[in-house]
Amino acid sequence: MKKLVLVPIVLFIWAFHLNQTYAQCANGVLSISNVQATSGLGTYEDPAMGTITYDFCFNLNQFFESSTNWAHGIFISWDNMPPGVRVVQGVSGEQNTQHGFRKWIFIDSLHARSFDLPGPGFYVDDGDGNPTNNYGDSGFGTPKALFPDLLPFCLSATFECGNATTLRPVITVTGDGTTGAWENQDCDGDEFVASTGGPNGNGTIIVCGLVLPLKLISFEAYKENKENVISWTGIADESFSHYELEKRSNYQSSFVNSFNSFFPQTNAEQTQHKIICIDNKDINQTCYYRLKMIDRDKSFVYSPIISVKSGANSLVAEFIYPVPTHETIKLKLIDNGTNTTYSVSIFKLDGQKLLDRDFSIKSNGSELEIDIQKLPFGTYLLLINSGSGGQPEMFKFVKA
């Protein structure tokens, strides 16, 4: 039986939201083709700074409507225009439609507003420069129109550094049916999020500083009452989706996800959460666990691997004192009768690690004292673990 506990703690930190839906009428691929910046690469390790210019292209492969198969608009909707981004025509320029005499032309933001179009981009035009009264591109074939001769639809965007954020292009494809306009209720907007290319290879550009949708503060596992307890604490904004806890026992060659997905509460402000999962299978084996941490854009990273040894049990420490403290903090240890090395880490509440040290305690030792004179006044988290397989523990203390 598996148990789940979610404990939300609200912290105020800026967040970034990406609106995403899935295509129903159109089929294609959106990719970043080029990134230039005043400095930086646009990776998580080296965010792009200053003036950032990025090019992205969409390949329209198929289009299907219940009535006819006429694609009419390939554009960036106003809702998906990041603040401060200016979009212009890319290297592809205007081109003939796949079928018929019309042309795909680029409409900039100013003209898109004046024509009451849903955003800047490429629209089908029959020569009058006003795509709102024109039919679309019906491609080749039925019931699904194909577009093998169309060039990619490329756009170029410029962004001046302000708040740290993640840039990820999103384009919308619409059809016109037989209405002679860009609107059609059957295909009123299929969104495509960049999934390839760019400095990270997944359609993202990190700009103006480091932004992570999730910060994993702690991840630990221990045995208690003949069950393995796996717990973790993180800080996430609304760009983060969920966790998948994966497990591998001694006799297994790979990790498998034998647990439910875990969805912490997130919002525009960052939220700290703690999740606890109980595992009562294969507890006589040494078990290994890792977290697959998945963002709303489907990208993911793995946590470090932790383990619970067969037969490991008991707590590491009973309590911490004095609270508040001034110069030292003391931990009352559980005496396990052996020489033990304890790993101690101290974190700020935002997850920044300030201290990471190992302490050796001889057999029958019952107390651990840590010098915190160099820490500024404030509230901190202390994580203690032992090499003997006892339960890792987190304590909160105040230096006053």
Q: What is the mean pLDDT of the chain?
A: 79
Contact 173, 123 (CB under 8 A): no
Q: What is the reported pLDDT for 202? A: 83
**pLDDT band of 12, cuts 50, 70, 90:** very low
Contact 399, 375 (CB under 8 A): yes
Q: What is the reported pLDDT for 200? A: 85
Q: What is the reported pLDDT for 316? A: 64
Q: What is the reported pLDDT for 295? A: 82
Q: What is the reported pLDDT for 246? A: 92
Tens digit of each residue's pLDDT (9 = 90 or more) over 122-166: 999 988 888 888 888 888 877 788 999 999 999 999 999 887 788
**pLDDT band of 315, cuts 50, 70, 90:** low
Q: What is the reported pLDDT for 189? A: 81
Q: Is the pLDDT of residue 188 over 80?
A: no
Of the listed ranges 240-254, 262-276, 330-344, the one predicted with least confidence: 330-344
Tens digit of each residue's pLDDT (9 = 90 or more) over 338-350: 677 888 888 887 6
Q: Is the pLDDT of residue 29 over 90?
A: yes
Other CB atoms within a 10 A radius of the CB of residue 54 amount to 26
Of the listed ranges 3-7, 107-111, 368-372, the one predicted with least confidence: 3-7
The percentage of the chain sitting over the pLDDT mark of 90, rounded to a whole number, equals 23
**pLDDT band of 393, cuts 50, 70, 90:** confident
Q: What is the reported pLDDT for 3? A: 40
Q: What is the reported pLDDT for 318? A: 62
User: Distance from CA of residue 7 to its chain's centroid?
Assistant: 21
222 Cβ neighbours under 8 A, 6+ residues apart: 228, 229, 308, 312, 313, 389, 390, 391, 392
pTM passes above 0.85? no
